[in-house]
A and B are shown apart, each in its own frame.
Chain A
Amino acid sequence: MGTSFGRGGATTFQQDLQNSDCIMIMGSNMAENHPVGFQWVMEARERGARVIHVDPRFTRTSAMADLHVPIRAGSDIAFLGGIINYILQNDRAFKEYVVNYTNGPVILKDEFQDTEDLDGMFSGWHEDKGGYTFETWQYKGMDLHGAAGQREGESALAEREPFQQREDALENGEPPHMDKTLQDPRCIYQIIKRHYSRYTPEMAAKICGIRPKQLIEVAEALCSNSGRDRTSNIAYSVAWTQHTFGVQMIRAAAIIQLLLGNIGRPGGGIMALRGHASIQGSTDIPTLFNILPGYIPMPHAKAHHNLAHFIESEGAKTGFWGNLDKYTVSLLKAWYGDHATENNEYCFPLLPRISGDHSAYRSAMAAIDGKLKGYFICGENPAVGNANAGLHRRALASLEWLVVRDFHEIESAAFWYDSPEIESGELETEAIPTEVFWMPAAAHTEKDGSFTNTQRLLQWHHKAVEPQGDARSELWFYYHLGKRIKHKIQAQDEPWADAIRWLTWDYPTKGEIEEPDAHMVLREINGWDSEGKALSSYTQLKADGSTVCGCWIYCGCYKDELNQTARRKPHTQQTWVAPEWGWAWPADRRLLYNRASADPDGKPWSARKAYVWWDSVKEQWTGYDVPDFEKTKKPGYVPPSGAKREEAIAGWHPFIMQDDGLGWLFVPNGVVDGPLPTYFEPHESPVKNALYGVQSNPARQVFPRKFNEYNPSPSEQHGDVFPFVLYTYRLTEHHTAGGMSRTVPHLSELQPELFCEVSPELAQLRGLRHGDWATIYNVRAVIEARVMVTSRVQPIRMNGKVLHSVGLPYHWGSRGIVTGDTTNDLLHIALDPNVHIQETKGLTCDIRPGRRPRGKARKTFLDEVRAKAYMETRV
């Protein structure tokens, strides 16, 4: 999303789904996993919208859809590529939108070579380093910076200085070489047309295991429900992100929506449906290794020597990322206060530098290798929830110390005496060195704070009761831990002590337990001016150290000294957009890029789809939402030559975070595995890639090592050892690794046991009986589950062969009111190279009737399985 449009968040909000004329839900079981949000899909259907569900399983989402297309798990890009090809071959794109609002007309550098030229590879590949560099993917006469995604500075390939964007690149606000007739063979529109020409309905259907007419029906539904007067929405969740090419799936949806003119318009957009209460918030204000608050990149050892250099290489010359200096300096002022001065680069040198991938999977492996000593786990349960959970349990058992903060003694706290490895004798309690601190956490009912939901909306929750006993909020824990650490280092000679000593850490506390005031933390996130008054917009930020702001995209959430996130005007007393409920980033905009809801002249594309438009009398943008555009910038504004920052964005370019203001059909900078989505098979797949000579995403991250063995695939020897496709999913009654649901009596009763879903055909093939036990296994693990024989899962016919699949929910572990085997033990760690997300959909396994071996027999069984797969046994 970030790389295509400029911001890494859902482009629209759930209530806007009611305005859609067609909704395609793909990579999501919305009715079961986001049931209350699904009411807006139902509203749309009541108004006559077409609802389509594309998913391997027939679920309650499918039951409520007009059309269900059961594709093979992991084949989504073939399906989406087929839709793109249908749009382009049949000339169904919304041309006026594509020509003015996207980079479709832009001519690419002569050096660019497509997968059509290189059998699945793009130009810029470095075989020795296993990755791409971006030089050849640039516009002719203009290098781009990219609003999001991985910059070259962060790439493992960054051996040289990141390239510089030329200041004079944009001419009158537009890239220097364009063909607005879209005919030039080197223009992006034509390159995309050629790239997807082999994704014919027949080819896509063959890969997905469906009939060509099913693909055509979906493509036609989207095309006929897009244009001036109609809009379509695409909704997805983790079944898209959890692949070795997950980012490319979302990119493919972005291309469809840009070609059909559905971004920035009511009823259009891409609705990302996320699974945790504040998962969007924990990305915006990141507990992530690669970014600082507001998507400012973490400084990189090889690329960022000082502040000026950081701003120069990471900031764009044009677009709102041209203000990176203001955002960064204001953040440093929030963290280092009066210590941050112009003379010391506002303490920028104090920040630690990253030098590659420091994601949780790397940390777990570092623990096993003895490099990671201490670990904090707050409200997460990797011993159940993370891919290849067995590897994570071994990581926990290799630490010096571990802090687990939760409501319950979850599996990640009990691993040292209660785990499959203890049961099988592979690990022994007395031999595990880890010192464990289990700390009771306070619930949302026991603390003040804000969640950011799936539509970028911050909503404040008020404390209702005091936490009991030792239970404390994370706000309390980290504030008081920081206090103690600051106090202790006064007396000791610490490395890099000023980074801690100078940190601003004075928040007022309340009550007997000295709970920090969450309002005051939010106020720091919002920021204040040189007089100490709360800021109202990020446009007020300055690079001279006079403004303070902890997260620039949240600037405005404490406008007028009021906690805007706590606003709760009933929806019945305001418009359907409900602008006075909570606060949405950025700048309280509910529907992003909404300048695109008007035509280039600023008039609504149609009366039916009016949302934000230019009021020529008042000379400003107006409408139902906060305009996602400078309020008084005229639709016909032509930037003067040499214009910088947002002044360089033309009045008809709606994607103001991008350096050219355009929606990116083709991404010249930011996606490390290619500028255009290309079909690859999952890392473990029982079939060969029918489209290219390259089997799997060449840039994916793999970790072949002990405890993370991979099943052989068909191109390898004994690829038929694990003939079935394995995928995982969630249930309505449970929440991720179960810490908040297997501990709840009601929910445990509703959904007591782990089960696997298999088709009647697979049940017959393997002798599985409904309600009995089955054992599911691969080289990593063996688990047992109750058998659910159901025609909701269908075998797929491919190349004359029948391909079966096994579906497994993943919520169970050994603790809680209801227990069961941990599905994620079967998963491997193979990651998307952009976002380091694991592949949990589309792996391989085998299944047999009966319960799994227990005790030491478990290890013996797995040793035999590995021997059969011609793998070495674990030592």
Chain B
Amino acid sequence: MRDSRPTWPVMRQLESDPLALGAAAQSDTNREWQARTKGVKAVKSVCPYCAVGCGQLLYVKDNKLIQVEGDPDSPISRGRLCPKGAATRTMVQSPTREYKVKYRRPYGTAWEELSLDQAMDMIADRVLKTRRETWLSQEEGKDVNRCEGIASLGGATLDNEENYLMKKLYTALGVVQVENQARI
């Protein structure tokens, strides 16, 4: 609510805002402005970059991520984010991010389109084919029962639940060459 006294900024600063960060810096226009996160649902999350584990608040409006901020409740980060963490919204909404499966056939010179369903089916076929072709029952007279021809790389950027399903499925397939960034 505006009062009727003179509204020169310097007066407001002298009266109640010595650092000129509040009322003294306000105009009729920006007085009405509100944070874009006001009244918006904040989803609790964790920064996806390094392993410090800073808390993040994801602000979602109309099913769209509109802002990512540090979570002041976190005992580790106490609301802070580094330049990478603060760029999280742009990371997930990057202009170079892609959303369609792409396929390059052997010796091909260009990407082709492929449906997700067809890609999944083709990958499952290749896994089984390579598993059959490179199955090793014994090595130097000892049982090994593993698939020599398939390997996997990645996991340190993924969730525990994802790593669990990966290790479980690979081990059942006999794939032992499973590795992640722990060594990088």
Contact = CB atoms under 8 A, between A and B. Distances in A.
A37 interface: yes
B25 to A, nearest CB: 26
B70 to A, nearest CB: 8
Given A282-B156, A462-B45, A495-B135, A409 B184 contact: no
Residue among B75, B88, B148, B174 facing the most chain A CB atoms (10 A cut-off) = B75
Given A281-B163, A352-B147, A435-B106, 8 more contacts: A289-B176, A301-B142, A436-B104, A451-B46, A469-B100, A568-B73, A740-B48, A740-B91
Interface residues of B, number: 119
A796 interface: no
Interface string A516-531: 1010011011000000
A838 B183 contact: yes
Given A466-B63, A475-B162, A485 B128 contact: yes
Given A464-B60, A495-B131, A500-B173, A287 B178 contact: yes
Contacts of A481: 120, 123-124, 127, 169
Interface stretch (A272-280, A679-687, A844-852): A272-280
B52 A353 contact: no
B50 A443 contact: no
A745 B132 CA distance: 45
Interface stretch (A371-379, A597-605, A783-791): A371-379
A528 to B, nearest CB: 15
Interface string A294-315: 0000100110000000000000
A217 B117 CA distance: 64
B66 to A, nearest CB: 10
Contact of A482 (B92, B135, B169, B184): B169
Interface of B: 43-56, 58, 60, 63-65, 68, 71-78, 80-85, 87-88, 90-92, 94-109, 111, 114, 116, 119-128, 130-135, 137, 139-140, 142-169, 171-184
A692 interface: no
Nearest to B164: A285
Contacts of A607: none
Contacts of B168: 335, 503, 550
Contacts of A462: 43-45
Contact of A453 (B52, B102, B154, B183): B52
A491 to B, nearest CB: 11
A524 B163 CA distance: 13
A273 B165 contact: no
A741 B84 contact: yes
Contacts of A281: 156, 159-160, 163
Contacts of B128: 485, 488-489, 492, 494
Contacts of A578: 75
Interface in A352-366: 352-355, 358-360, 362-363, 366
Interface string A436-476: 11111001111101111111011111111110111111110
A277 B156 CA distance: 7
B151 A376 contact: yes
A361 B70 CA distance: 37
Contacts of A277: 46-51, 53, 156-157
B43 A431 contact: no
Contacts of A455: 53, 76
Interface in A384-440: 385-386, 400-401, 403, 405, 407-409, 413, 416-417, 429-440
Interface stretch (A221-229, A258-266, A728-736): A728-736
A480 interface: yes
B49 to A, nearest CB: 5
9 contacts: A278-B163, A281-B160, A286-B167, A287-B163, A350-B145, A352-B174, A374-B149, A478-B166, A495-B131
A562 interface: no
B50 A746 contact: no
Contacts of A660: none
A802 interface: no
A198 interface: no
A433 B164 CA distance: 32
Contacts of B150: 372-376
A468 B82 CA distance: 27
A841 B43 CA distance: 40
Interface stretch (A28-36, A109-117, A617-625, A764-772): A28-36
